[in-house]
Amino acid sequence: MNATFKILFVSFFVFVCHIGCKEDDSDTAPQIESTKELQLINMYDNEISVLVDDFVKQTEALQMSILTFQSSTTTTNLESAKTQWKNMQSVWKQLELYDLGTVAASFISFEINRWPTDPTRIEEEILGSDTINEAYVASLGSSSKGIAGIEYLLFSEQQDIASTLELFTTETNAQRRVEYLVSVSKNLTTKSYELDTLWSENREEFIVALENGISGSQNQVINAMIALTEEIIISKLGDPLGDSNDGILDASKFEGFSSEFSKEIIQQHLISLRRCFTGEFTDASNQIGFDDFLLLFNSSELVDKISMQFSICQDQLDNIQGSLEDTLISNPDNVILLKDSFRDLLVLLKVDMANILGAIITFNDNDGD
C-alpha cells in the first residue's frame, strides 16, 4: 500500500478544492470527476477484473476435481472436490458485491448462485428420466444448479462423507446423481466465462459513468455495499437467529449450512466491503477509495468511524470460535453481537457516507434498521 501517495494526493486535493470553493463551487467539479474516474479505474483493474479472472480459474479447477471424482468415486476425490468448492466460493463471495450495471441487468449472478437452492427439485431431476447433460441443466431454473446446487450435492446437508459417498455409488440413481453434479459444474464454468466476457466488454462503460444519479457507477457501488450489508443483517444472520420466525433459532437458514461454511462467507463479504471502502486492492499506486472521497469533503471523522466499525465487525467475527452453525446453538449472543456490528456499519454507510457523497439510495426495501 502506498499510503504516502494517498495522503499527499488527498491533502493536495483538499487544498485545491478549498481555494476553488471560495470563488466558485463549480470549479471543483472537474477535479472531483477525475478523482471519481481514478477510483473506478482502480476498482475495475485492481479488484473486479482480478476477482473475475480468479473465479474463472476456480470454477475450472472445481470442474476438473468433479470430473476426477466421476472417474473414481472415492472418499479422497470427494474431499478434494469439497475443498475446491470452498476455494471457489470464497472468491465468489468477494465478487458478489460487484453485481452492477449491465452485469446485474443480465441476471447472470442468479445463474451462478441462487440461494437458497431447491433440494426437492434437484432430487426430482435425479430421479427423472431425461438425459442429464450441460444443455439440460442450462434449461433448469437457477435454484436447481449453480454454486448452491453443487454445495447441496457435495455436502448433502451436513451428512458424513461416507453417507454422501453412498449417494454417488450405491444408492438408486447414483449414476444420474454423478451426471447431474458433473453437468452443473460444467454449466457453472460456462457461466464464469460469460461473466468474464460481460465485464471485459463493459469496462469502459463502468469507468466513464461518472454522473451522480442512479446510473452513475459510484452511486451503484454505494448501493451495492448497502444492499450486501443489509442482506448480511437480515438474511444471512437475522433469519437463522429467528428475526422473521418468532425468535426460533434455525441453523439451516445460514447460507453455507450444508458445508458449514457460513462464517467464511461472512468473512469474505467483510473483506470485499472493507477493500471497496479503502480502495486498497493491490500495491498499485492508484488506491483511491471512498475514504479518499470523504476526506475531500472534510469528513475525516467519518472515515475514522467507518474504519473502526469494520474492525469491530472483524473482531466480532473472530470472537466466534468454530462454525456459525455450532455457535448459534451454543452461544447465540455472539451471533447477535456480530449482526449488531453490521447494523452499526450499515448506518454509517447508508446514512452518513451516502448523505455526504450525495448518493441516491435505491435498495431500501429491507433496511435492517
> Quick one: which of 198, 186, 188 has its CA closest to 48?
198
What pLDDT shows up at residue 228?
98
State the pLDDT at residue 27.
56
DSSP string, 204-249: HHHHH---SSTTSHHHHHHHHHHHHHHHIIIIIIITTTTTTTTT--
Q: What is the pLDDT of residues 252-262, one digit of tens each?
A: 999 999 999 99
Per-residue pLDDT of 146-194, as tens digits, reads: 999 999 999 997 889 999 999 999 999 999 999 999 999 999 999 999 9
Gyration radius of the chain over CA positions: 22
Helix axes 217-231, 262-278, angle to 10 degrees: 150
Neighbours of 201 (CB within 10 A): 11
The mean pLDDT of the chain is 91
User: What superfamily does domain 3-357 belong to in CATH?
Assistant: M75 peptidase, HXXE motif (1.20.1420.20)
CB 93 within 8 Å of CB 51 = no
Query: What phi and psi, each to the nearest 5 degrees, are found at residue 209?
Result: -80, 80
Domain locations along the chain: 3-357
- What percent of the chain lies above the pLDDT cut of 90? 84
> In this predicted structure, what is the pLDDT of residue 363?
56
In 44-132, which residue ranges form alpha helices assigned H by DSSP? 49-71, 75-95, 101-105, 108-112, 119-127
Predicted pLDDT at 285: 81
User: What confidence score (pLDDT) does residue 282 get?
Assistant: 84
> pLDDT tens digits, residue range 254-287?
999 999 999 999 999 999 999 999 999 988 788 9
pLDDT at 284: 77
Predicted confidence at residue 28, as pLDDT, reads 64
| Percent helix, percent strand, percent coil in the chain, to nearest 5 | 75, 0, 25
Which residues contact residue 357 at a Cβ distance below 8 angstroms, ignoring those fewer than 6 apart?
218, 222, 290, 293, 294, 297
C-alpha span between 322 and 306 (Å, rounded): 27
- Give the residue from 284, 323, 320, 291 showing the smallest Cα distance to 308: 291
**The C-alpha cell that represents 188 in the structure block:** 457453472
Q: Which residues contact 72 (CB under 8 A, 6 or more apart)?
A: none
What H or E segment, with its residue span, contains residue 203?
Answer: helix 203-208
46 SS3 class: helix
List, for the chain, all residue ranges whose pLDDT scores fall below the cut of 50. 1-5, 7-25, 365-369
